[in-house]
Amino acid sequence: ERLVNAAGVDYAVSILDHKRIDEINILASTMEAMSLAVKGLSSKPDYVLIDGNRCPPDLGIPAEAVVKGDLKCTNIAAASIIAKVTRDRMMHAYHKRWPQYDFATHKGYGTAKHMAAIHREGPCPIHRRTFAPLKHMDLISENE
């Protein structure tokens, strides 16, 4: 909370749901979410640093991709912390709705425990159907 409330800090978070990710793929949805976050800032930046090896094509602002940027740049590290905290909070909310998947523990990553829950329970509505292990399982959720 101190990070996002600090003087001079301007940030925006963009979240695309599982349907959009399935529709356009994980890389395209990552690029779209980054573009939406930049456009959601209260002031237009002069330059954007991106953690990774490519920049969204439609930023309309000069940008630089920085591989392992969270280790090299404090601004990218701060953005990474905001993203992780946002994701953790979402996973805790999902855990309350679907506790059998234990989202609070694995945070949505494809751990053995998470995959075992999907095999046992079938996918829940937020599971991406294009996620490689899931698309080959031929599982139908009763929750859909």
State the pTM of this model.
Answer: 0.86
The one-character DSSP state at 50 is E
pLDDT band for position 142 (cuts 50, 70, 90): very low
- Find all residues with CB under 8 Å of 56, minimum gap 6, and list them: 31, 32, 34, 35, 38, 50, 63
Reduce the DSSP state of residue 34 to 3 states and report it. Answer: helix
pLDDT band for position 133 (cuts 50, 70, 90): confident
Contact 65, 58 (CB under 8 A): no
Residue 107: other Cβ atoms inside 10 A: 17
pLDDT band for position 102 (cuts 50, 70, 90): very high
